């Protein structure tokens, strides 16, 4: 009845008259669902098994719908489904279990518990022949029950299951209970904490059962339980296992106990760290000797595999604790990587492998299946051993050189492994070794004059390259496609690490690659293509030209393939082939070599054209075809004269298409840059009009690429361009000149310069459109870098051009007038740059008049104009000697030191220093004489700093003749009481070290008391010395002489004065960042221990401020600098740092002040990517400080920036949490951490922050 329906669970909402139809529809649907369910429940008892099957299946479908059931209906359905578990038909039983999984999510909690009790009772006391079905049903319940019912289910099941396990009845009951118990502990083990000790007790007892299957299942269940055990109980479990191993005499039981320890080690990982000193020797003992024939049995192999898997877990997750055992573990793993007692690798191994592969291909057998038939499980031991080595390689980058020496040749020698799964792991292990070398080289950055040494690891890799290539080519000539793909992956890394050395082997390697290019396996073809492209990009063209006749037909055939990925990659290879056929000399910009490429031009053109003309192809293919044809025309266009109109027409068609315009722009730019001078006249007007419209688009990458292409067009085809086109280019580029995007501003100004160079008459358009924008950015405080340089170059060109409306006088007045609109000093400095550039470019007469007017401005009262005049005089004086222009200019500038305005004083010091560079003989003595007075030391030293730094950074300037005059004045002020003065002295000395280290470095050593018999220097002197070294590190630091004195300088890290120690830490940070090779030999012994100690340094004192007292921590700046240095070490020299040893100090930092915490978060994020095992091994101790940070509440009194800062700290902590959760090791991440993550998700504010952070990433 509708009355009951509206009061029951399916009650429909009360709606208006307009919604009455919906009410009726809802009511009818509810009645129909109830009727349907009743009918299906009756049919589930039908005598016909097909009817029962169909009814149960339909019941599944109905339950999946959005229906509501009352308690009575739920009970009836549950009873019916449980009854079908006893059905004589297996199909009906299977469908009932499927139905049960759906039902658990629909019924109320009481029904879930009733099903749970019923199934458990049936396992324990039900029919023997149906016990496996009951077990499947209970496993389904454990796997699919909703999370909120999990605790109740777990608590109802745990005791009953344990009773089934410990009972002495039917063995099948014990086995089924063990299976379900394992699943229960994996999902809800943390919900039955009170029963954990009982679980351990019962399962430990089963480890000595006489049935092997029981022991195995008990071992698996203990592994699942170990994950959720608290530390005391876990330690008790492990201690008990280790004790039983030593006391047992039955070898079967000993093997079981060892396997249990191995299983536990794999599941809990880092939590076993404290037991490793006991476990590792025990495992090594039971791994045994591979030559011992008595242990070459399946049981021993299984035990060895377990022990090796335990080693892998320890290496990955117990980063710090495993360190003392790595040598023995690596040695053992190398021995068992070769453990193959049933096969003899003789000299004719290759022939034997080929025969074996042919036999497998004919009969359809796999290696693994054959070995299973022969009961040969030794391959599992070998694979486990290789995985241990892989774990060592990937988690220990600091051991890279040692691993090459110890493992490199051994791994290559095992490429001959007969079992493909093991062979793949071996090749991947060696590839990981190469990849770690690649990462280490990438962290070193681009080689510089002081950083050209080859790393030892690269040298070792090159020395074994012949062996590697021989072994690789044997595999590429084999028949195992997966192995070939693995070899190509390894070779790709070799292309990056040792590109030049690989060239010697390309002649032998090309036939192997060509064979793979004709293989039926599409993935293998793609791998071969990718490797070939990388190889050709990194090799000298001469080494590959001899193979072009063989390679090109194969690549062109692949361009006509059907799979889009192969077509696209083949087109990329074609692009590189073109550059190999006709190489371009980077220095001269001309083609070199005498290789005859003419026979290949037409086939390449025809292959590309097919893809270029097609419209119904993948986007990636279109882009690759456009770039390939651009390279072809740019390099071989003189061979395609009659075909160029077709290509140009197609390029214009692609340029009009929004999807393909970006690659087309790049292709046109390539063609314009060609030294053979391709004629683009047929499309020039149309292309420029199209490109000009692109500058109005919103897309920044499009505008950037368009500007670059327009510059290329102007440079290559200016003679064919009309004034109208130049005007169009300038008018459309003008809106992009702004301080909102300085890179686009730079490109637009370079384009304007290009146009002005080839078409001086375009100055009218430039004056109308570009100059107003230039005037705006000239006064912008944001203007800097290349945008500023481009603006200055444009102004210089305009002065030389002297066009109407853009003469020197007009430009000068326009720019100078902008000073009235500027409030920030950087804006005034930019205007001064522009005015000085104009003065340098103009005639001597106009320059003199202008300088005179600037001097007059110095006597005025307008501070901005005085500052502008001083800065302009300084910029101009750097490039032109002003002594003859204005008499006594230096004294006029010195008078400005008396100004009440600090900005004017600073500008005067800047001007004096810059002027001195223009005439050192006149102005430098003035600066030095003034320093003898007791006034304005800071300003005079600031001027002197400008002189010295400009000499250090400007090619052609020599400061040698003046060093004897300057140095005594600098040393005199090294111990000034004013920190600003000392800082200026340090900057000067730092710049002098880069120019004349042979004079300055020994002098600083003597001053610091580092020389034999030298008196100890004062703390202020030591501070200045450390700071000067910091400044020199950012320049061209002289490694040879600094290395001799570095040990003395580093003693300041232990200075008793905190300020000196802080300066020394800053010096180390700069050295690690800019000069890693200089500092690397001192890191381990002198620097890193001090950094660790400083992270925990606290020196708090109370300052009495009258009404209140304030606590000051003098150690805070040192802690921040030490952590910043550690952060830099992880960036530049991570292999020099034992990350595991640092983790306790990181934990301390995570609970420190806010600034320290944020630094620690950055470091933690880096370690998650670099050494995740170290994070996992210390994770439990990191959770508490992280949780304290992210749950920190904003105080009531905090407002504005304080709130923002508090929220930024929380976001920083959340980023660290996300980095940890992204570690690919779910079994190794602790339950404590996942519980913490769950708590974060339950807080609305934190969950929103996490979502925002993920979106940013």
Q: Which residue has the tokens 């005498």?
A: 594
For residue range 809-864, list pLDDT tens digits in order: 999 999 999 888 887 889 999 999 999 999 999 998 898 899 889 888 888 778 88
Q: Measured between alpha carbons, how far is 499 from 501 in angstroms, rounded to an integer?
A: 6
Q: Cβ distance 1128 to 1069 under 8 Å? A: yes
User: In 3D, which of 997, 999, 998, 1000 has the Cα closest to residue 985?
Assistant: 1000
Q: Which residue has the tokens 């393909």?
A: 660
Q: How far is CA 202 from the centre of its chain?
A: 47
Q: Alpha helix locations (H) across 420-505?
A: 420-444, 456-463, 465-476, 481-497, 499-502
Confidence class for position 796, pLDDT limits 50, 70, 90: very high
Q: What's the pLDDT at 91?
A: 74
**What number is the average pLDDT over the span 290-301?**
82
**What number is the average pLDDT over the span 153-173?**
85
For residue range 331-388, list pLDDT tens digits in order: 999 999 988 887 777 654 444 444 444 434 444 444 444 444 456 788 999 999 999 9
Q: What's the pLDDT at 57?
A: 75
Q: Measured between alpha carbons, how far is 506 from 465 in angstroms, rounded to an integer?
A: 12
Q: What share of the chain is helix, strand, coil (3-state, %, to 5)?
A: 80, 0, 20
Q: Alpha helix locations (H) across 656-760?
A: 661-672, 681-694, 700-717, 723-733, 742-758
Confidence class for position 11, pLDDT limits 50, 70, 90: very low
Q: What's the pLDDT at 19?
A: 44
Q: Cβ distance 1028 to 1004 under 8 Å? A: yes
Confidence class for position 67, pLDDT limits 50, 70, 90: low
Q: Alpha helix locations (H) across 64-195?
A: 71-84, 90-103, 109-125, 131-144, 147-166, 171-188
Q: Measured between alpha carbons, how far is 689 from 697 in angstroms, rounded to an integer?
A: 14
For residue range 94-118, list pLDDT tens digits in order: 777 667 766 666 667 777 777 788 7
Q: Cβ distance 1146 to 1163 under 8 Å? A: yes
Find the helix or strand (DSSP H, E) in which 628 lies. Answer: helix 619-636
Q: What's the pLDDT at 346?
A: 62
Q: Cβ distance 142 to 165 under 8 Å? A: no
Q: Cβ distance 216 to 262 under 8 Å? A: no
Lowest mean pLDDT among 314-323, 535-544, 1093-1102: 314-323
DSSP, collapsed to helix, strand or coil, labels residue 1102 as: strand
Q: Cβ distance 381 to 301 under 8 Å? A: yes
**CA geometry: angle 420, 426, 429, nearest 5 deg:** 140
Q: What's the pLDDT at 369?
A: 41
Q: Cβ distance 1166 to 1127 under 8 Å? A: yes
For 525-565, the DSSP string reads HHHHHHHHHHHHHHS-HHHHHTTHHHHHHHHHHHHT-SSHH
Q: Measured between alpha carbons, how far is 620 from 782 in angstroms, rounded to an integer?
A: 39
**What number is the average pLDDT over the span 1183-1189?**
91
**What number is the average pLDDT over the span 400-414?**
90
For 1117-1133, the DSSP string reads HHHHHHHHHHHHHHHH-
Q: What's the pLDDT at 745?
A: 95
Q: Alpha helix locations (H) across 996-1037?
A: 997-1007, 1019-1033
DSSP, collapsed to helix, strand or coil, labels residue 748 as: helix
Find the helix or strand (DSSP H, E) in which 1100 lies. Answer: strand 1100-1104
Name the percent of the chain lying above pLDDT 70.
Answer: 89
Lowest mean pLDDT among 395-409, 656-670, 1184-1198, 1220-1234: 1220-1234
Alpha-carbon distances, residue 448 vs 439, 1077, 1078 (angstroms): 18, 11, 13
Examine the pLDDT at 1196 and tell me if it is beyond 90.
no
Find the helix or strand (DSSP H, E) in which 1256 lies. Answer: helix 1244-1256
Q: Measured between alpha carbons, how far is 664 from 680 in angstroms, rounded to an integer?
A: 14
Examine the pLDDT at 329 and tell me if it is beyond 60.
yes
Residue 968 CB neighbour total at 10 angstroms: 10
Confidence class for position 1229, pLDDT limits 50, 70, 90: low
Q: What's the pLDDT at 368?
A: 42
Q: What's the pLDDT at 692?
A: 93
> Structure tokens of 814?
């326009």
Examine the pLDDT at 1104 and tell me if it is beyond 70.
yes
CB contact set of 378 (below 8 Å; sequence gap of 6+): 296, 301, 339, 340, 341, 342
Q: Cβ distance 915 to 882 under 8 Å? A: yes
**CA geometry: angle 864, 870, 873, nearest 5 deg:** 135
Q: What's the pLDDT at 912?
A: 92
Q: Cβ distance 71 to 108 under 8 Å? A: yes
Q: Measured between alpha carbons, how far is 1166 from 1156 in angstroms, rounded to an integer?
A: 16
Class of residue 1097 by CB neighbours under 10 A (exposed 0-12, middle 13-18, buried 19+): middle
Most confident of 476-485, 1032-1041, 1168-1177: 476-485
For residue range 1046-1055, list pLDDT tens digits in order: 888 999 999 8
Q: What's the pLDDT at 629?
A: 93
Q: What's the pLDDT at 1228?
A: 58
Q: Measured between alpha carbons, how far is 878 from 917 in angstroms, rounded to an integer?
A: 5
Q: What is the dihedral of CA 158, 164, 167, 169, to 10 degrees?
A: 170
Q: What's the pLDDT at 884?
A: 80
């Amino acid at each position: 009845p509708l009355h009951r329906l509206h009061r029951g669970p399916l009650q429909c909402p009360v709606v208006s008259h307009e919604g009455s139809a919906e009410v009726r529809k809802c009511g009818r649907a509810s009645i129909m669902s109830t009727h349907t369910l009743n009918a299906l429940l009756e049919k589930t008892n039908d005598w016909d098994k097909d009817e029962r099957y169909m009814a149960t299946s339909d019941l599944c479908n109905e339950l999946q719908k959005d229906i509501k059931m009352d308690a009575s209906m739920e009970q009836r359905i549950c009873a019916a489904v449980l009854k079908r578990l006893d059905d004589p038909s297996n199909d009906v039983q299977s469908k009932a279990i499927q139905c049960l999984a759906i039902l658990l999510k629909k019924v109320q909690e009481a029904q879930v518990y009733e099903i749970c009790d019923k199934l458990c009772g049936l396992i324990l006391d039900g029919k023997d022949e149906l016990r496996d079905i009951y077990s499947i049903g209970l496993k389904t319940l454990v796997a699919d029950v909703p999370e909120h019912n999990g605790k109740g289910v777990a608590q109802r099941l745990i005791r009953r299951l344990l009773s089934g396990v410990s009972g002495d009845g039917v063995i099948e009951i014990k086995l089924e209970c063990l299976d379900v118990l394992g699943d229960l502990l994996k999902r809800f083990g943390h919900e039955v904490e009170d029963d954990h000790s009982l679980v351990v007790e019962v399962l430990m007892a089963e480890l000595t059962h006489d049935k092997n299957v029981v022991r195995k299942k008990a071992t698996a269940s203990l592994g699942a339980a170990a994950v959720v055990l608290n530390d005391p109980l876990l330690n008790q479990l492990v201690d008990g296992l280790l004790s039983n191993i030593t006391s047992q005499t039955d070898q079967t039981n000993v093997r079981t106990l060892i396997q249990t320890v191995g299983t536990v080690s794999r599941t809990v990982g880092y939590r076993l760290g404290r037991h490793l000193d006991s476990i590792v020797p025990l495992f090594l003992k039971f791994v045994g000797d591979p030559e011992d024939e008595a242990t070459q049995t399946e049981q021993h192999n299984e035990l060895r595999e377990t022990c090796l898997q335990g080693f892998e877990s320890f290496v990955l997750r117990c980063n710090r604790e495993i360190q003392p055992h790595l040598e023995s573990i690596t040695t053992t793993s190398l021995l068992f990587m070769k453990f193959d007692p049933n096969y003899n690798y003789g000299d004719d191994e290759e022939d034997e492998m080929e025969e074996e592969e042919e036999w497998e291909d004919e009969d359809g057998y796999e290696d693994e299946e054959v070995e299973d038939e022969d009961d040969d499980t030794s391959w599992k031991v070998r694979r486990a051993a290789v995985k241990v080595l892989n774990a060592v390689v990937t988690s220990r980058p600091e051991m890279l050189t040692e691993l090459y020496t110890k493992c490199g040749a051994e791994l290559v020698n095992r490429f001959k492994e007969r079992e493909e799964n093991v062979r793949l792991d071996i090749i991947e292990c060696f590839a990981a070794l190469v990849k770690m070398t690649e990462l280490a080289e990438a962290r070193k950055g681009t080689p510089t004059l002081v950083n050209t040494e080859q790393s030892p690891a690269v040298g070792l890799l090159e020395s074994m390259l012949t062996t590697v290539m021989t072994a690789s080519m044997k595999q590429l000539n084999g028949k195992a496609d997966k192995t070939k793909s693995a070899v190509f992956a390894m070779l790709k890394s070799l292309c990056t690490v040792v590109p030049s050395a690989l060239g010697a082997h390309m002649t032998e390697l090309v036939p192997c690659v060509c064979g793979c290019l004709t293989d039926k396996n599409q993935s293998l073809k793609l791998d071969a293509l990718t490797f070939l492209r990388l190889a050709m990009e990194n090799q000298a063209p001469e080494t590959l030209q001899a193979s072009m006749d063989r390679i090109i037909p194969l690549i062109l055939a692949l361009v006509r393939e059907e799979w889009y990925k192969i077509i696209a990659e083949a087109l990329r290879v074609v692009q590189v082939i073109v550059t190999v056929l006709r190489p371009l000399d980077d220095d001269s910009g001309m083609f070199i070599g005498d290789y005859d490429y003419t026979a290949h031009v037409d086939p390449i053109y025809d292959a590309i054209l097919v893809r270029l003309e097609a419209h119904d192809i993948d986007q990636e293919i279109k882009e690759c075809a456009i770039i390939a044809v651009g390279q072809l025309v740019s390099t071989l266009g003189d061979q395609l004269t009659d075909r160029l109109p077709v290509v140009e027409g197609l390029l214009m068609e692609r340029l009009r298409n929004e999807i393909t315009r970006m690659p087309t722009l790049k292709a046109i730019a390539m063609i314009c840059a060609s030294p053979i001078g391709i004629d683009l006249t047929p499309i020039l007007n149309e292309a420029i009009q199209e490109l000009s419209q692109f500058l109005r688009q919103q897309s920044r990458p499009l505008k950037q690429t368009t500007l670059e292409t327009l510059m290329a067009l102007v440079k290559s085809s200016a003679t064919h361009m009309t004034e109208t086109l130049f005007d169009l280019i300038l008018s459309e580029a003008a809106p992009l000149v702004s301080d909102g995007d300085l890179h686009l501003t730079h490109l637009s100004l370079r384009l304007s310069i290009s146009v002005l160079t080839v078409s001086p008459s375009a100055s009218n358009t430039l004056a109308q459109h570009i100059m107003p924008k230039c005037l705006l950015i000239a006064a912008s405080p944001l203007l800097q870098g290349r945008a500023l340089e481009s603006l200055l170059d444009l102004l210089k060109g305009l002065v030389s051009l002297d066009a109407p409306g853009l003469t020197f006088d007009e430009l000068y007045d326009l720019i100078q007038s902008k000073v009235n609109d500027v409030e920030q000093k950087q804006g005034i400095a930019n205007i001064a740059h522009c005015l000085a550039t104009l003065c340098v470019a103009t005639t001597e007469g106009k320059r003199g008049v202008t300088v005179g007017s600037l001097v007059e401005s110095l006597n005025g009262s307008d501070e901005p104009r005085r500052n502008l005049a001083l800065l302009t005089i300084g910029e101009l004086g750097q490039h032109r000697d002003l002594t003859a222009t204005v008499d006594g200019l230096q004294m006029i500038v010195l008078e400005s030191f008396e100004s009440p305005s600090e900005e004017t004083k600073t500008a005067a010091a800047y001007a004096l220093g810059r002027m001195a560079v223009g005439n050192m003989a006149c102005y430098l003595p003035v600066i030095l004489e003034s320093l003898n007075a007791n006034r304005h030391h800071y300003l005079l030293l600031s001027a002197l700093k400008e002189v010295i730094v400009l000499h250090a950074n400007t090619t052609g300037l020599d400061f040698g003749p003046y060093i004897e005059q300057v140095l005594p004045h600098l040393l005199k002020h090294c111990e000034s009481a004013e920190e600003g003065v000392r800082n200026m002295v340090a900057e000067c000395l730092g710049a002098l070290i880069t120019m004349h280290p042979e004079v300055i470095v020994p002098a600083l050593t003597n001053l610091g008391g580092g020389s034999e018999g030298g008196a100890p220097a004062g703390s202020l002197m030591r501070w200045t010395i450390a700071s000067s070294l910091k400044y020199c590190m950012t320049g061209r630091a002289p490694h040879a002489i600094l290395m001799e004195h570095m040990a003395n300088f580093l003693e300041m890290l232990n200075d008793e004065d905190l300020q000196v120690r802080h300066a020394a830490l800053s010096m180390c940070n700069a050295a690690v960042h800019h000069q890693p090779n200089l500092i690397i030999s001192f890191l381990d012994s002198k620097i890193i221990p001090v950094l660790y100690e400083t992270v925990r340094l606290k020196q708090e004192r109370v300052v009495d401020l009258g009404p209140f007292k304030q606590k000051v921590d003098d150690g805070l700046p040192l802690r921040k600098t030490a952590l910043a240095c550690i952060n830099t070490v992880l960036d530049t020299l991570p292999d020099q740092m034992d990350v595991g040893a640092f983790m306790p100090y990181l934990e301390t930092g995570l609970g420190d002040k806010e600034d320290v915490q944020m630094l620690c978060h950055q470091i933690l994020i880096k370690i998650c990517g670099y050494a995740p095992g170290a994070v996992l091994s210390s994770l439990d101790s990191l959770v508490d400080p992280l949780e304290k940070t992210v749950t920190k509440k904003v105080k009531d009194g905090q407002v504005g920036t304080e709130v923002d800062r508090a929220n930024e700290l929380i976001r920083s902590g959340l980023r660290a949490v996300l980095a940890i959760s992204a570690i690919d090791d779910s079994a190794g991440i602790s339950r404590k951490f996942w519980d913490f993550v769950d708590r974060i998700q339950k807080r609305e504010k934190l969950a929103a922050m996490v979502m925002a952070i993920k979106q940013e990433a």
